[in-house]
Amino acid sequence: MQPVLKKGCALFAGPRRGRHRALARINQESHTCMNVAYTTANEMNHRFVRSNGIKMHIAEDGEGPLVVLCHGYPEVWYSWRHQLRALAEAGYHVVAPDQRGYGQTDRPEAVEDYNILQLCGDIIGLVDALGETEAVIVGHDWGAPVAWVCALLRPDIFRAVVLLSVPYRQRSWAGIRPTELMKQMAGDKQFYQLYFQEPGKAEHELEADVRKTMLMGLYSGSGDAPPDKRWRFLFDKSETFLDTAAVSETLPAWLTEADLDFYAEEFKRTGFRGGLNWYRNIDTNWKLTPFLSGAKIRQPALFLAGEFDAVITMYRQAFDSLEETMPGLRKKVLLSGAGHWIQQERPREVNDLLIEFLRSL
């Protein structure tokens, strides 16, 4: 039987299956796991594994075929809190890591350590560290590019892929850097991904009041925010990034004070630099992957997003082309009334669709 951790967390040494699990307390220097009010967070099994030269923290539950859940920005394993138990009860070994630069996983100093090949190497190494040879990979937001590049690079490992919120965009043969295309698109305005490029600039703004930053991001990106309060990816150069977001006087129904506290405490401790470094490798990722130009994802696939997700508006052409670029696509769904954080905003619908897809494999 799996040990259940009611409070705090423990470090499990060695592979999950077939070996004795040594339990040890994690002191503050080793990033003590918070006691959070959300019941499933307390009950998750937590441990560390070594992957691709870093120490990676994972939350996991269940037995059966492996499903890896890759979070986005600015999130941690906790954004999958509603999926971990549901997928475990459906018969799967579900694992949600803090990805490189986030949460309790290592945060390398060098910006170049966050390129897409390193990020995919982390997940490929995670599968191996778990003693598995194959997995279904699920990615939300920035986790979606990690998922689709993993699927393209190692179809022998990743037998199926699920993308949430960010549709697959084929790498183009065009000889112009992505940031140059962004500058052309932005014109005399500022594009948020360009705003993130200068080390220290966005960190200074976002870390001034971490709880407010997280609340603004979660609310403004959700389907609960009215149209005039939702994210603006383009903004005047006299503004800051947080000027594009809004604060709600009351929390949306899907977000509790305990949820917000968890996110705030994690990012107070780590800062936002690790996640922002993913954006600072956009051009590097393009330079590293010319061999993926025009590649199609042929594994069985599922795509889910919210009806009001601003990312779908930005990448509508990619969304409309998914049947062509992902020949194995079984279904694509826009959830009515939902925004960007669909696995948190609409957990029941997302869980039902994930389980339906997994059982079809």
> Residues, the chain, total?
361
pLDDT of residue 238: 86
Mean pLDDT over each residue of the chain, to the nearest integer: 89
Average pLDDT over residues 179-186: 93
pLDDT of residue 298: 98
pLDDT of residue 42: 62
7's tokens: 């409070």
pLDDT of residue 175: 81
Average pLDDT over residues 164-175: 91
Catalytic residue among 57, 71, 93, 340: 340
Q: Evaluate if residue 304 carries a pLDDT over 70.
A: yes
Report the alpha-carbon distance of residue 199 to residue 19 in Å, rounded: 43
Q: Radius of gyration of the chain from Cα atoms?
A: 19
| Structure confidence at residue 24 as a pLDDT band (50, 70, 90) | very low
Average pLDDT over residues 74-103: 97
pLDDT tens-digit profile of 321-360?
999 999 999 999 999 999 999 999 999 999 999 999 999 9
pLDDT tens-digit profile of 92-119?
999 999 999 999 999 999 999 999 999 9
Question: Is there a catalytic annotation at residue 106?
Answer: no
34's tokens: 């918070």
Question: Is there a catalytic annotation at residue 320?
Answer: no
pLDDT of residue 41: 59
pLDDT of residue 191: 95
Is this model's pTM higher than 0.85 or not?
yes
Share of the chain above pLDDT 70, in %: 88
pLDDT of residue 122: 98
pLDDT tens-digit profile of 187-204?
999 999 999 999 999 999
Average pLDDT over residues 297-315: 97
pLDDT tens-digit profile of 127-143?
999 999 999 999 999 99
Catalytic residue among 61, 106, 141, 224: 141
Which residues lie across from 51 on neighbouring strands? 54
Q: Evaluate if residue 88 carries a pLDDT over 90.
A: yes
pLDDT of residue 248: 86
Average pLDDT over residues 47-56: 98
Domains of the chain: 10-360 (3.40.50.1820)
Q: Which of 60-64, 227-231, 264-268, 293-297 has the lowest mean pLDDT?
A: 227-231
pLDDT of residue 246: 86
